[in-house]
Chain A
Amino acid sequence: MLTSIIESVLFVSNKPISIKELARICERKKDEIELALDSLKEKYGSEESGINLLQNGENLEMVTNPKNSQLISGLVKDEVKSELTRPQLETLTVIAYRGPISKLELEQIRGVNCSLILRNLLIKGLVMVEEDKVVDNNTYSISMEFMRHLGINSFEELPNYVELSKSEELDDVIKESKEID
């Protein structure tokens, strides 16, 4: 059964795996995979489940339930915790709600140049970049690692996600800034 195969693949995999890869491994179509994933997400979505299924765009990963973090962190002691600065937190917030987002759009929201801060977040592995052929038109999204820090399985779990991810005024502001350019 497809769901069972995918579950096993996700279990042994030691890094995030994309829907495309799953389709290749299972020799099935992408939408079949997605359907099977829905039932897996339901299986692992309950409060009691020790394992959660985390999805970030196209990528999936099995992770431990964030409620158990205290005990588990004692077991895997290599997470280097470093404090986030306010601007870093603010930048991560915008990317989490609006990602994938270009640097230009990000700067339009924050009102400041964000080159340096993006570079630092990339180095810390909290943000991923998708390169575009046009230099400076790369898009940024939240990494699997930062999702695990938040203990969420999808971005929809963020507070006020619907309002902030699809704000009309935001689209207006961004559109205007593009027209100016």
Chain B
Amino acid sequence: MKIKLEKFEGPLDLLCQLIDSQKLDITEVALAEVAEQYIEYLDEIEEVNPEDLADFLVVASRLLYLKSRALLPGLDSLDEDTTDLEEQLKLYKKFYDASKLIEKILDKGEMSFARKEERAMVNYKFVPRASLNTELLKKTLLGIIGGIEVKQRLPERSMKEVISIKQKIQEIRDVFRDRQEAGFGDVLKDSSNRKEVIISFLGLLELVKQRYIHIDQGEMFGSIVIRKKDI
């Protein structure tokens, strides 16, 4: 099943459809269950307006939190706002359903008409008040500026892109294309800096999780041997 993101009005809409397609009710359990699919969809979109994406990511993080809570029941008492997403989604669903009813009403095409406003035949002229002067303009502008709530600026930090875990995983898979066994050193040999070493390590962990490889370390600080799992 492939669904393109543009088809969704927003993250809640995407969630609703995912849960619907699994024939589940909106519950915390159901949310945790579709978390992975939700993130897969986000993965598939390549270019999207960053602001729109942000809304989707907020929901993604809440889903991941729910999922980790399902896996680690000990987290339970930490936070009480976990049912938020469930409630929010149920509420969204109600309005979504209501919008379908509204659509039906509109489709009936039974509308009322009011008297038309007659076009003004008078030619309006701009007559400034006698009190209008530059001082008043200044005051007005200051009033407008005063009404704007000062937003807290978050300090900007930029990340230097080294290499993505995804790329790294592909590189590691390439190493094992024609061999069964390699040392951690083989995986690291092209790494140019510490960050890349860390990413390689994360990549290895991910591959272990996917049961693609198996890691052995004979003794503490000994060399790490990586073996490809037989499939």
Contact = CB atoms under 8 A, between A and B. Distances in A.
Interface stretch (B8-16, B38-46, B223-231): B8-16
Interface residues of A, number: 58
B88 A164 contact: no
B110 A159 contact: no
A118 interface: no
Interface string A58-95: 00011111110110110010110000101101101110
Nearest to A51: B112
Contacts of A108: 88
Contact of A14 (B59, B84, B102, B118): B118
A14 B115 contact: yes
A15 interface: yes
Contact of A63 (B95, B103, B113, B144): B113
Contacts of B94: 163-164, 167
B135 interface: no
Contacts of B96: 90
A177 B95 CA distance: 18
Nearest to B146: A133
A36 B9 CA distance: 44
A90 B95 contact: yes
Nearest to A179: B81
Contacts of A133: 147
Contact of B59 (A13, A70, A111): A111
Interface string B178-214: 0000000000000000000000000000000000000
Contacts of B117: 14-15
Nearest to B109: A69
A89 B148 contact: no
B166 interface: no
A134 B95 contact: no
For the complex of A and B, the 9 pairs showing the least CB-CB separation, nearest first, are A112-B10, A63-B112, A66-B110, A93-B99, A111-B12, A14-B115, A148-B112, A151-B110, A64-B113
Interface of A: 13-16, 52, 54, 61-67, 69-70, 72-73, 76, 78-79, 84, 86-87, 89-90, 92-94, 96-97, 108-113, 133-136, 144, 147-152, 158-160, 163-164, 167, 169-170, 172-173, 176
